[in-house]
Amino acid sequence: MEESECRSAEKKVVAVVGGGLVGALNACFFAKRGFKVEVFESREDIRKAKIVRGRSINLALSHRGRQALKHVGMEEKIISKGIPMNARMIHSLTGKQSPIPYGKKGQYILSVDRANLNKELLSEADTYSNTKLNFDHKLQDWNAETGLMTFVRPDQSQVHIKADLIVGCDGAFSATRKRFLRRTRFNYSQTYIPHGYKELTMPPINGEFAMKPNYLHIWPRNTFMMIALPNLDRTFTCTLFMPFDEFEKITTDDEVMRFFQKYFPDAIPLIGVDALKRDYFKLPAQAMVSVKCSPYHIDDKCVLMGDAAHAVVPFYGQGMNAGFEDCIVFDEMMDQFNEDFSAVLPEYSRVRVPDDHAIADLAMYNYIEMRAHVNSKWFLFRKHVDNFLHFLMPKTIIPLYTMVTFTRTRYHKAVERWHWQNKVINHSLLLSALGAVVGSSYLLIKNPPSINRVIIPAEKMWTRLVALRTLRTS
């Protein structure tokens, strides 16, 4: 960036609302460009807190998120504290374990701890002299015309700040987004799925992981499932996803045990009977929400990113990765339009909305795949076919999971390509099957089997058996 541009950037104030994962990373992106950055977080500083409030579902870091971290020099630090997962490990009812690789050899996703990642990003943002972190500041209101913002502190005192750009990264229940809802032509939908989740901990056994650590373990049971991700302390975080009405049927210790003995018998000794009874009732089942909206901006004053723009259910492991990619896409557009907010913000909405809506839909689909399709022989066969064709034609046939997880192919383009590939492959398989049937029928008609060819060997076999029995009895 030219010196004159640097001076221009330094005069502008960017207010990042939300000090979570996307907000903290965004602060690094804007600070790196020379803007004066103010981060406002409603919670206390989690780096000093004894108990960290908020969601705790483990995170799966993949290519999109890593690219964003790399851009601010954080990739190596974060991956050094993650655990590679090379494949899904499917647990059957009998306890049999079967791996399904995620991609080619060497491709993996990383199990990372949410709280630790958030702390690292906040600390990185704190290293920039032009960044200020403000904790215990809850957004009360803001003005789209003037950029004037009002925050409330725990003692009910108010703090006012004027910003050139407001970046809403304050989660699925975004206070920033409330101002958008007052405007015309703003589309918004919020959907709670009928399934909730509970978390359990699988402790180490003799100081080591209770199961193979380099896998995302899945117990698919068609209408529900349990997954387990490894942690650095050699525990596994197990998450049970199930319809709320099924959770409500389990009210006693005995019912918990009967349920696990029926559906997850191999997990009981690994979690521990006492721990299972205790932890299952620690918290009620938690809800999961999917949020879609458009556009993501108001004029040149405010833009939404992360869950504030597109909260997704966790089944594709792309919520954080999509939020991190928001940061890098916005940054790329800042280069493209020379940091002109009036050009960057509408283009960001135009480009990003279809992608984020696509990953929201894919996340819903992947829940069905994880809990049910992985039990299907056809699904496993198609996986092998897709991987084989990808090996033969790596640029023509690319599995959906590979496009989503190991590339930065735009989400909606990945979906379009997936539908096209499915159509081509399914038609090819159907034609191959018809060809085999027609070919076999033609050969049978041209070369009908001879009765003699069948009878004579049978007669010879019978003669040999009679002779053998005679020898044994003599």
User: Is the confidence at residue 460, as pLDDT, over 70?
Assistant: no
Q: What is the mean pLDDT of residues 366-390?
A: 77
Contacts of 46 (CB under 8 A, 6+ apart): 52, 115, 118, 119, 122
pLDDT of residue 444: 74
Q: What is the mean pLDDT of residues 52-68?
A: 82
pTM: 0.86
User: Is the confidence at residue 448, as pLDDT, over 80?
Assistant: no
Strand partners, 303: 167, 297
Q: What is the mean pLDDT of residues 258-279?
A: 96
Cα→Cα distances 19→56, 60, 191, 344, Å: 16, 20, 25, 23
Of the ranges 45-54, 183-192, 223-232, 343-352, which one carries the lowest mean pLDDT score?
45-54
User: Is the confidence at residue 455, as pLDDT, over 60?
Assistant: no
pLDDT of residue 2: 44
pLDDT of residue 407: 95
Question: Please, which pLDDT band fits residue 395 given cuts at 50, 70 and 90?
Answer: confident
Of the ranges 40-54, 133-147, 289-303, which one carries the lowest mean pLDDT score?
40-54
User: Is the confidence at residue 5, as pLDDT, over 50?
Assistant: no
DSSP string, 361-405: HHHHHHHHHHHTGGG-HHHHHHHHHHHHHHHH-TTT---HHHHHH
* Integer Cα distance of 309 and 409 in angstroms: 20
Do β-strands 87-91 and 215-220 pair in parallel, antiparallel, or remain unpaired?
Answer: parallel
Ranges for all domains in the chain classified under CATH 3.50.50.60: 3-365
Of the ranges 104-113, 126-135, 331-340, 390-399, which one carries the lowest mean pLDDT score?
390-399
Instruction: For the chain, give the percent of residues with pLDDT over 70.
Output: 91
User: Is the confidence at residue 457, as pLDDT, over 80?
Assistant: no
Cα→Cα distances 228→49, 178, 213, 235, 263, Å: 26, 36, 10, 10, 15
3-365 falls under which CATH superfamily? FAD/NAD(P)-binding domain (3.50.50.60)
* Integer Cα distance of 53 and 245 in angstroms: 26
pLDDT of residue 467: 54
**Whether the Cβ atoms of residue 135 and residue 44 lie closer than 8 Å to each other:** yes
pLDDT of residue 474: 47
User: Is the confidence at residue 57, as pLDDT, over 70?
Assistant: no
pLDDT tens for each residue of 303-332: 999 999 999 999 898 999 999 999 999 999
Instruction: For the chain, give the percent of residues with pLDDT over 90.
Output: 72
Report the candidate in 111, 121, 39 with the shortest Cα–Cα distance to residue 77: 121
Question: Please, which pLDDT band fits residue 4 given cuts at 50, 70 and 90?
Answer: very low
* Integer Cα distance of 20 and 150 in angstroms: 20
User: Is the confidence at residue 27, as pLDDT, over 50?
Assistant: yes
pLDDT of residue 454: 46
pLDDT of residue 456: 47
Do β-strands 187-202 and 165-168 pair in parallel, antiparallel, or remain unpaired?
Answer: unpaired
Question: Please, which pLDDT band fits residue 1 given cuts at 50, 70 and 90?
Answer: very low
Q: Compute the Cα dihedral for 250, 196, 405, 324 and give only its sign.
A: negative
Question: Please, which pLDDT band fits residue 227 given cuts at 50, 70 and 90?
Answer: very high
Of the ranges 46-60, 122-136, 158-172, which one carries the lowest mean pLDDT score?
46-60
Report the candidate in 197, 281, 290 with the shortest Cα–Cα distance to residue 237: 197
Prior bond to 295 cis, omega within 30? yes
User: Is the confidence at residue 230, as pLDDT, over 70?
Assistant: yes
pLDDT of residue 55: 53
